[in-house]
Structure 1
Amino acid sequence: MSPVKLLVSALEPSANLHMEPIIKAIGNCELLGIFDEKFGKPLLPSRAFSIMGFVDAIPKIRLAKKTIEKMAQLSLLVDTVILIDSPAFNLPLAKAIKKINPNVKIIYYILPQVWAWKEKRVAKVEKYCDVLASILPFEQQFYNRAKYVGHPLLDEIATCKEKYEATGYIAYLPGSRKSEIKKLMPIYKEVAKKINKNNILVIPPHFNSQEIKEIYGDIREFDISRDTYKTFLKSEFAFVCSGTATLEASLIGVPLVLAYKAKAFDAFIARMFVKLKHVGLANIIFDFEGYDPLHVELLQEKVTVENLMDEYVHMDRKLFYENSLKLHRILKHGSANEMIKLIKI
C-alpha cells in the first residue's frame, strides 16, 4: 500500500506533540512541510519559527512569506493538508494553497482561538479550510462547521495520578521559549531555595547543552528532566509557565500555580484585545462550563517569590484533584481516532 502523503504545518512544540499520536496511528505516511526533524526531513524545522509575542515576530515575516509560497507548491504533491494552530501563519498558507490547488483537502486541527480574540478569523477558516477539527468542546459556539474530535492530551497522557499524595518532589516548568524562561528562572530559583525539597527542572528536548547554559544559567540546585509527564506523575506540586503544560498538569492531577511574564509591550497589547478572564487552558474550559477556576494564575508583576510561595502553602490539593477528574469528564476522549477518520475520508 502506498503511503498517505501529508503536507503538515506544525510551527509550535505543542503542535508537534499533538501531531505525534496521529502520525503513529496512521503508520504508513509521508510528511512534507514544517515539523520537528524526528518525524522526517522537513522543508523547515519547527524551531525556525520559534517566537514569542509581537516583538519577536517582526524579523520572521520575510521568512514566513517565502515559506508560504514553497508550502503552497508542495500541496500539489500530497493527498491532504494538516494545519495545526499558529493562525498568523496557517491562515495565509491556507489561502495560498487554495489559490493554486483548490481541490486538496485542508484540515485545520487546533483551531484559532477566536473565543479569545480576532473573531473575524472564523470567516477565513471556514472559507479556506474543508475540515475544522476542534479540540475544545465549547468551540462549536463560535464556528459553524467545527467538529469536536476530542483532546490530544488524552491520547498522549498514558497515566494519571490515582489520588493526591505528598512525594517530596516539586516540578518547575519555566516555558519552552528563551524569552519566557529567562524571565521566570531567577524567580523559580528563589522559590526552590525556600521550599527546599527535591527540585525538578523540566527542560524542553529541543534545547541542546550550549543553549541550556545560555538560557537557564546556574541550575545546580535542580535535577534535570526532559520528560514532562514523568515529572508531573512524580511531583506533589508544580510551578508552570502558561501554555499546554498547565493543561497537562491539570489532567495528570498535580496541583499547580501558573506564572507568566510577557514583554511589557506584548502584555499591553493582550490587555487591549484579549477578552478572556483566564490564560490557563483548564481555567478557560472550566469558565465555559460555568465552574470556578481550577488553579491560580499569577501574571506580570504578580509573579513574585512571595506570591508563588503563598499559593504553594495554601492551595487545597484534594479539591484540585477532584477538579482534575471533572476536567477529564468534560474533555471525554483523545483526538487521534477521530483525526484518522477525517484524514482518510
Structure 2
Amino acid sequence: MKLLVCAMEASSNIHLKELKKHLNQDIELKGVFDDSLGNPLYDLTSLAIMGFTDAIKKLRFFFKLRDELVDLADECDKVLLMDSSGFNLPLAKKLKERYPNKEIIYYILPQAWAWKKKRVFKLQKFCTKLCSIIPFESEIYTDKKKITYVGHPLLDEIKEFKEKLTNSNKIVFMPGSRKTEIINHMNVYRELASKIKDKEHILIIPKKFDKEFIKKYYGDISLFKISNDSHEELKQAEFAFICSGTATLEAALIGTPFVMSYVAKKVDYFLGRLFVKLPYIGLANIFLYKAGKPPIHKEFFQENVSFNNLYKEYENINKNDFLETSKELRKYLKHGSSKNVANIIQS
C-alpha cells in the first residue's frame, strides 16, 4: 500500500514515527513528513511557519505544494492528514474533488472545539475517517460514524511516568522550536538560570538545529547543559520552564511541575485571543477545564513573561497537588492511539 501523508509539524512527526511502528512493512509513505521516515517532497524546516503574518508570506509556496500533493495522490491508495488544518483542510477539499472515492483519514484534528467550529462541517464533508485524540472532541460532530476517539498519542510515546516527586536538582528549560519563540524566551531563561543557584540547568534544543542556527537564535547558552531528549530530561527534572505547545502536555503527563509562558507577535496574540473563547491556552489545562477540574499549571503571556513571575511560580508551586492531577490526566486521556490509528489505516 502507498499512503499519501501530510505531516508538517514537528509534533505530528513524533506521532507519525510511533504510528509507523504499528503499520505493515509494505506500506510506503509519500508526501510531507520527516526525512527519517522516508523520502519526503520537502525538508520540514522549509515548511515551518510562525503565526498569521508568516503564513501569508509563504502562500504561493503552499499553493504549489498543495497541487503537488494532489497530483501525487493519484499513485497512492489512501491519504493520512495530520494536524496543520490551515493547509490540510483545503488539501482535503482538493483531494475529495479529484478523487471522490479515495479514503482520506485525518489524525490530530484541528481544535474546532476551541475556535472556528465551522471546520467540523468541512472535516465531515471532505474526510472519510476522523481520529480524535481528545475525549470530549466528538461532542461537536454530527456524523458520529466518522469520528473515533483513539486515545492520546503522548501516552504511547512517553515510556515512563512519575509516581512520586523528584528531587534531582535538575531544571529543564524548553523555549520552543520556532525562531520567534526561542528569541522571546532565552533572555528570561538566562536570567532564571543565573539566579537559581546550585541546580543543573538543562536546555532542550531539537536535534534538527545546527551550530549556526543555535548561535544565531539561542545566543549565549553557556549556563546550560544541552539535551535533545525532552522526555528523559523531564522525567528526571524537579521543575521545568516551558514555552506553550505540546511540551506542556508532555510535562503534565510525565508529572514534572512547570510554568508555561508564551510571547507572540502582537497581532497574532490579539487575533488568537479574539477567536479562542477558552480561559486557558495550555493543553493540559484545557482538558482539565473540559473535565470540570482546576488547572494543573500557571500560564503567563506577553509582557507578563518576566523573571519575577516565573521565579515566583517556581518557588511557590504545590508539587504534591501537581503530581496527583497529573495521574488524573493520564487516566482521562487513556492509551492506544498509535495502534488504533494503524488499524484504521489498514482496515
* TM-score, structure 1 as length reference: 0.98
- For these two proteins, the number of residue pairs brought into alignment is 342
Give the conservation status (yes or no) of the 8 Å contact 1:169–1:199.
yes
Aligned with residue 273 of structure 2, among 271, 274, 277: 271
For each residue in 1:134-166, what CA deviation from the matched residue of structure 2 results, as whole angstroms up to 9, or x when unmatched?
001110111233210000001100111121121
Aligned with residue 217 of structure 1, among 216, 219, 224: 219
After superposing the two structures, state which structure 1 stretch, 137-146 or 193-202, moved more: 137-146
Match of residue 2 from structure 2:
5
* SS of residue matched to 2:22: helix
Match of residue 322 from structure 1:
324
Give the conservation status (yes or no) of the 8 Å contact 2:166–2:236.
no
Match of residue 251 from structure 2:
249
* SS of residue matched to 1:25: coil
Tell me by how many angstroms 1:45 deviates. 2.4
Distance (whole Å) between structure 2 residues aligned to residue 297 and residue 18 of structure 1: 25
Distance (whole Å) between structure 1 residues aligned to residue 22 and residue 298 of structure 2: 36
Match of residue 161 from structure 1:
162
Tell me by how many angstroms 1:27 deviates. 4.1
Give the conservation status (yes or no) of the 8 Å contact 1:11–1:47.
no
Match of residue 14 from structure 1:
11
The alignment yields a C-alpha RMSD, in angstroms, of 0.9
For each residue in 1:180-219, what CA deviation from the matched residue of structure 2 results, as whole angstroms up to 9, or x when unmatched?
1100000110011111210000001221111111110010
Q: What letter matches 1:307 in structure 2?
A: N
Percent of pairs identical after alignment?
Answer: 49
Q: What letter matches 1:181 in structure 2?
A: I
Q: What letter matches 2:4 in structure 1?
A: L
Aligned with residue 74 of structure 1, among 68, 72, 75: 72
Are 1:339 and 2:337 counterparts? no
Match of residue 301 from structure 1:
303
User: 1:1-345 residue pairs with structure 2 within 5 A?
Assistant: 4-28=1-25, 29-144=27-142, 145=144, 146-196=147-197, 197-345=199-347
Tell me by how many angstroms 1:249 deviates. 0.4
Unaligned runs of 5+ in 1: none
Unaligned runs of 5+ in 2: none
Give the conservation status (yes or no) of the 8 Å contact 1:7–1:32.
yes
Distance (whole Å) between structure 1 residues aligned to residue 121 and residue 287 of structure 2: 23
Give the conservation status (yes or no) of the 8 Å contact 1:75–1:104.
no
* SS of residue matched to 2:58: helix
Q: What letter matches 2:164 in structure 1?
A: K
Give the conservation status (yes or no) of the 8 Å contact 1:202–1:227.
yes
Give the conservation status (yes or no) of the 8 Å contact 1:72–1:97.
yes
* SS of residue matched to 1:108: strand
